[in-house]
Amino acid sequence: MNDTPILEAHGVQKKFDTSLILRGVDISLKEGEVLAIMGPSGSGKSTLLHCLAGIIDSTSGSIVYNGRDLTTLNQTDRTKLRRTDFGFIFQFGELVPELPILDNVALPLLLRGVKKKEAYSTSKEWLDKIDISSISKALPHTLSGGETQRAAIARAMANNPKVIFADEPTGSLDSINATKVMRLFVELADQYKKSIIFVTHSTEMAKYAKRIVMLQDGLIVNDNMPSQT
């Protein structure tokens, strides 16, 4: 693992109306690192993740990815960066309900400008790797929770991101499927040398991280908690 941070934030604050959700967060993610963000409900975990990914604007502070400060980029440049370098996995998969799974996986590639033949070929490869090629023609509402998250992982990995952000990726799953999905998620990221930052409320899921950060009331109160792995 490279010790140089691929993503780092300094003094990040986020205010919604009059509420200060993040109160000056400093955090970094190294290349190839798996980092978990934990904390009680309302501590700002998801808000921090979305700021780091450039999905929402921070109110102040800097967020630097590979030497580029996301807070200084316009919306077009940030959208382009998210399509080329970042992957996303959310609690409920966030698949497009009208599209079959194969099309869902191919969609980010097509939006990035990849030719249709290549986009679908790559998507099929990832469905095979994750062992869900049998559901490639299925619509999202017909899938189990575990299948939905596997499809979301395939979609994130197919785009060959450098950093994967996951917001409660196993929060909607039972413990057996949560463990299976988390193992797959981390094994794939390790195999393909991705950096991962994920939010979880589960100490069991956090054990898959190499480093755990505890957030409370919008501030980091513990960095590098032991993951007990």
Max CA separation in the chain (angstroms):
49
Write down the pLDDT at residue 7: 96
Q: Tell me: pLDDT of 149 over 60.
A: yes
Write down the pLDDT at residue 70: 92
DSSP at 219 = E
Closest CA to 47 of 14, 2, 71: 14
Whether the Cβ atoms of residue 21 and residue 68 lie closer than 8 Å to each other: no
pTM for the predicted model, two decimal places: 0.91
Whether the Cβ atoms of residue 9 and residue 51 lie closer than 8 Å to each other: yes
Question: What's the average model confidence in pLDDT over 56-65?
Answer: 94
Closest CA to 89 of 128, 130, 125: 130
Percent of the chain at pLDDT above 90? 66
Write down the pLDDT at residue 117: 97
Any residues with CB less than 8 A from the CB of 60 and at least 6 apart, and which? Answer: 11, 12, 13
Burial of 48 (0-12, 13-18, 19+ CB in 10 A): buried
- Domains held by the chain: number: 1
Q: Quote the tokens at residue 5.
A: 């941070």
Rounded to a whole number of angstroms, the CA Rg of the chain reads 17
For the packed helices 75-85 and 101-112, what is the interaxial angle rounded to 10 degrees?
A: 130
**Model confidence pLDDT, tens digit, residues 112-146:** 899 999 999 999 999 999 889 999 999 999 999 88
Range(s) of the domain holding residue 101? 5-225
Chain-centroid distance, C-alpha 144: 20
Would you place residue 225 in the very low, low, confident or very high pLDDT band (cuts 50, 70, 90)? low
CATH code of residue 55: 3.40.50.300
Q: Tell me: pLDDT of 228 over 70.
A: no
